[in-house]
């Protein structure tokens, strides 16, 4: 019988030890300080080349997904744009992966790593899409799978999208541990890892993020081969940061140094993701600001000591859209292009419509992913659930959208605009979070250098912010 103290505080105190055993990574070897660490060496130490990743993913029905030009949507955007404006919109259809989302790329490398190291099973803590991806990959590699999922509020009511994703995990043979919303998710995750000895197929390990690099690499090479140039912009749905980080790294590997990397999230400002009251008052369980902003401003809030997903390291712009705008574009994609995809995967498509209007006709904008739809993931199910929870759903100007209170669906395409987020504001928030972990007076040159790289800025800008923070 185990004599370990399994209280919340004790399990969280053993976090680093549990992570080392469950990933085979010693994160301490990369650390310089509580802030700085050798990020590139951590990524390189996975040992996987792009050729390795492509081969591993090909073995389990992942990657080489279709790249469609959305001719009809592009024409519709040009009709509402100024003369000469309206970039060509391309869509990378990640719903074609086994499990139906880009997260199969993350899972493929992570599960391969687990099998290679002799683990008997894998565990993932997730709202569902990644869990389904891990379960799909695990069954193909002959491993057991446990998915830990926040499903219910305190009334025992689960969002239809999350319930559907749990069903998909179970369809692949995974055991799904279903929790109510709250802080126990990572605690249960750590405890289960310790008790089973399974591999931590976290979203935030270097293995998972390396798996997404093939997506950016494919986009860069396919666009250049088809159109003779790199895309001017790639729009990436942003939540925990792995999608953006991996895709951006893949674009760089494909030689697309000048391609703008644009993050996009659904704006759920004012809603708290760990709030029992707010949990079912949102229609998007991922790809929203409830994850996108906190993880951008402090990536290491994850279930691993050092997060390999670091969005501000690669982000050029950050665009926010409303729930109603995404639902409108989801329906429009079906009606104009004849393909039905899940709303969460259409978040980046919504931003692409707004940004294409500002770009020239001869420029290319790539929507980097889609996801499968059906059952609870369908937008009609989500809108019905919103009404049941007291959310007003109506047509009108999406500028009137209030997260948790109203979902305003545009009446016309020219109402789809969203808004830009101030990246410098996010960078300053990151620095304040870093200062809570290590006092400003202790920051050294290596810390400053790391922060400049992690925030995609200059060391002088970091020092200027330090002076201003010291004067506050």
Distance CA 127, CA 109 (A): 20
Q: For the chain, what percent of residues have pLDDT higher than 90?
A: 83
Q: 445 and 373 in one domain?
A: no
Q: 338 and 255 in one domain?
A: yes
pLDDT of residue 230: 98
> Would 376 be classed as within a structural domain?
yes
> Would 105 be classed as within a structural domain?
no
Q: 397 and 446 in one domain?
A: no
pLDDT score of 117 more than 90: yes
> Would 21 be classed as within a structural domain?
no
Q: How confident is the model at residue 279 (pLDDT cuts 50, 70, 90)?
A: confident
> Would 143 be classed as within a structural domain?
no
> Would 158 be classed as within a structural domain?
no
- Residues 195-248: pLDDT tens digits? 999 999 999 999 999 999 999 999 999 999 999 999 999 999 999 999 999 999
Burial of 467 (0-12, 13-18, 19+ CB in 10 A): exposed
> Would 408 be classed as within a structural domain?
yes
| Residue whose token pair is 């197929």 | 201
Mean pLDDT computed over every residue of the chain? 95
Q: 453 and 410 in one domain?
A: no
| Domain, as residue range, for 438 | 423-470
Q: 397 and 355 in one domain?
A: yes
**β strands within 3-72, DSSP E:** 67-69
> Would 46 be classed as within a structural domain?
no
**Residue 309 DSSP one-character state:** -
Q: 397 and 331 in one domain?
A: yes
Distance CA 343, CA 334 (A): 11
Q: 407 and 392 in one domain?
A: yes
pLDDT of residue 344: 87
pLDDT of residue 1: 45
pLDDT score of 277 more than 90: no
Q: 386 and 461 in one domain?
A: no
More confident residue, 126 or 402: 402
Identify how many contiguous H helices and E strands the chain contains and give both numbers.
18, 13
Q: 406 and 314 in one domain?
A: yes
> What domain count does the chain have?
2
> Would 339 be classed as within a structural domain?
yes
**Residue 90 DSSP one-character state:** E
pLDDT of residue 2: 56
Distance CA 347, CA 292 (A): 13
Distance CA 325, CA 268 (A): 13
- Residues 30-70: pLDDT tens digits? 999 999 999 999 999 999 999 999 999 999 999 999 999 99
More confident residue, 234 or 19: 234
**Cβ atoms 462, 448 nearer than 8 A:** yes
pLDDT of residue 272: 82
Q: 376 and 287 in one domain?
A: yes
Phi, psi of 243 (to 5 degrees): -60, -50
Q: Domain boundary at 420, 439, 456, which?
A: 420
- Residues 315-355: pLDDT tens digits? 999 999 999 999 999 999 999 999 999 998 899 999 999 99
- Tell me, what CATH number does 376's domain have? 3.40.50.1100
HSE-CB of 299 using CA atoms within 13 angstroms: 27
Q: How confident is the model at residue 128 (pLDDT cuts 50, 70, 90)?
A: confident
- Residues 167-194: pLDDT tens digits? 999 999 999 999 988 778 888 999 999 9
Q: 448 and 410 in one domain?
A: no
- Residues 287-321: pLDDT tens digits? 999 999 999 999 999 888 899 999 999 999 999 99
Q: 221 and 370 in one domain?
A: yes
Q: How many CB atoms lie within 10 A of CB 120?
A: 13
């Amino acid at each position: 019988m185990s004599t370990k103290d399994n209280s919340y505080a004790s399990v969280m105190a053993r976090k680093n030890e549990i992570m080392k055993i469950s990933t085979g990574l010693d994160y301490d070897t990369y650390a310089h300080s509580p802030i700085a660490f050798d990020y590139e060496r951590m990524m390189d130490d996975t040992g996987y080349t792009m050729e390795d990743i492509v081969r591993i993913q090909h073995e389990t029905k992942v990657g080489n997904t279709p790249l469609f030009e959305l001719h009809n949507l592009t024409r519709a955007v040009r009709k509402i744009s100024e003369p000469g404006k309206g970039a060509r919109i391309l869509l990378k259809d990640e719903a074609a992966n086994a499990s139906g989302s880009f997260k199969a790329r993350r899972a493929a490398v992570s599960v391969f790593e687990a099998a290679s190291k002799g683990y008997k099973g894998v565990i993932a803590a997730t709202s569902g899409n990644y869990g389904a991806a891990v379960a799909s990959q695990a069954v193909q590699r002959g491993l057991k799978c446990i998915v830990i999922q926040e499903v219910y509020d305190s009334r025992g009511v689960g969002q239809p999208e999350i319930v559907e994703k749990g069903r998909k995990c179970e369809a692949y043979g995974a055991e799904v541990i279903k929790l109510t919303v709250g802080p126990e998710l990572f605690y249960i995750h750590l405890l289960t890892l310790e008790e089973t000895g399974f591999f931590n197929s976290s979203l935030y390990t270097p293995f998972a993020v390396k798996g997404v690099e093939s997506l950016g690499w494919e986009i860069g090479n396919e666009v250049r081969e088809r159109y003779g140039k790199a895309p001017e912009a790639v729009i990436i749905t942003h939540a925990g940061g792995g999608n953006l980080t991996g895709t951006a790294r893949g674009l760089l590997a494909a030689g697309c140094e000048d391609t703008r990397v644009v993050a996009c999230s659904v704006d759920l400002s004012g809603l708290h993701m760990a709030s029992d009251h707010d949990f079912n008052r949102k229609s998007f369980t991922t790809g929203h600001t409830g994850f996108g902003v906190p993880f951008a401003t402090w990536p290491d809030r994850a279930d691993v000591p050092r997060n390999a997903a670091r969005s501000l390291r690669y982000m050029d712009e950050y665009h926010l859209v409303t729930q109603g705008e995404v639902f409108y574009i989801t329906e429009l994609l079906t009606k104009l292009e004849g393909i039905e995809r899940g709303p969460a995967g259409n978040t980046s498509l919504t931003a692409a419509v707004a940004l294409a209007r500002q770009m020239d006709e001869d420029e290319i904008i790539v929507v980097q992913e889609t996801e499968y739809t059906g059952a609870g993931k369908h937008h009609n199910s989500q809108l019905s659930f919103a009404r049941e929870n007291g959310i007003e759903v109506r047509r009108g100007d999406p500028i009137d959208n209030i997260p948790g209170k109203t979902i305003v669906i545009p009446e016309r395409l020219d109402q789809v605009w969203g808004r830009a987020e101030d990246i410098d504001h996010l960078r300053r928030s990151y620095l304040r979070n870093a200062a809570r972990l290590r006092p400003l007076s202790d920051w050294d040159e290596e810390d400053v250098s790391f922060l400049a790289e992690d925030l995609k800025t200059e060391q002088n800008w970091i020092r200027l912010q330090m002076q201003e923070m010291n004067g506050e």
